[in-house]
Amino acid sequence: MRTHLLTSPGRRGMALAAVLVLAILALLLPRQITSAGAADASPSAAKPTIVLVHGAWADSSSWSKVIALLQRDGYMVLADPNPLRGLSSDAAYLSAFIKGRTTGPVILVGHSYGGAVITDAALNDPTVKALVYVDAFAPAKGQSCLGLSASVPGGPNPSALFDEVTYPGAPAGDVDLYLKTPVFISTFANGVPAATAAVMAAEQRPVTLSALSQPGSTPAFTKIPSWYVLGTEDNIILPSLQLSMAERAHSRITRVAAGHLSLLTRPGVVVSVILAAARTVG
């Protein structure tokens, strides 16, 4: 007589127990996978927000190539619409922007005049963990952007750089400064294709004379670590001036063979420095 293995009471009990074990595992496994996924996602969630601050004669679109690369690497990126009206007021605007639009740690990145803005804005903001300067001013207390430029022999002559335009409600003696079109194309945007530079010159946003003349307050780089992208072919902020400011700030310096707009002509280098700063936040 053939005996079927599952006909005895003992075998049936073992089979039922096995089914129950499999059912319990099926219920628990998705929870374990979800927990593992959440653990894997936590480093990404802890990444700092990158806040980019453009300089004079530009707008947030000047960061477009840098933004695309940072977003590809999974970073939250925001571009501050720097008003270019006054150093202290622009710094206050940036502080409010950070407070209103970010949570968690922040890396501040400033180009050109934007470097002076981040230097002024970040000192008393505990969320700002690092500063990155890109061909930028990093003034000490009491120094202005125009004063720094004038301190370097062989630097650009301000009277030959600007078209001055009186703006409504301007304080006595203040004006909007535009770069003369030939200066913008050949000096400010060297390294950018001429046709693109001509469009940028037509679209440039002015900065006030008072903004470039206002002395900085206590600089944030005295308390916050900094990095510096130094354009060795910059004709607006001369490389020698960039080097002296970067060394005074004790910045980690990366030299790049580029003009004043390395954020457009060498965005990969700029992003690599921003990422180096971001990796120190944890």
What is the mean pLDDT, run by run of 10 residues, along the chain of 282 residues? Answer: 42 43 41 38 67 98 98 98 98 98 97 98 97 98 96 82 96 97 97 97 98 98 98 97 98 98 98 97 74
Q: Is residue 114 part of a domain?
A: yes
Read off φ and ψ for residue 140, nearest 5 degrees: -80, 170
Axis crossing angle, helix 64-72 with helix 267-278, rounded to the nearest 10: 50
Q: Is residue 33 part of a domain?
A: no
Q: Is residue 169 part of a domain?
A: no
- Domain span at residue 73 reads 45-155+214-278
Q: Is residue 191 part of a domain?
A: no
Q: Is residue 93 part of a domain?
A: yes
* Spatial contact of 252 and 226, defined as CB atoms under 8 Å apart: yes
Q: Is residue 196 part of a domain?
A: no
Answer yes or no: 112 catalytic: yes
Structurally, the chain folds into a number of domains equal to 1
Q: Is residue 1 part of a domain?
A: no
Q: Is residue 58 part of a domain?
A: yes
Q: What is the pLDDT of residues 134-191, one digit of tens each?
A: 999 999 999 999 999 999 987 777 778 999 999 999 999 999 999 999 999 999 999 9
Catalytic residue, chosen from 112, 149, 226, 251, is 112
DSSP 96-148: HHHHHH--S-EEEEEETHHHHHHHHHSTT-TTEEEEEEES---PPTT--HHHH
The CATH number of residue 263's host domain is 3.40.50.1820
Residue among 135, 129, 136 at smallest CA distance from 216 = 136
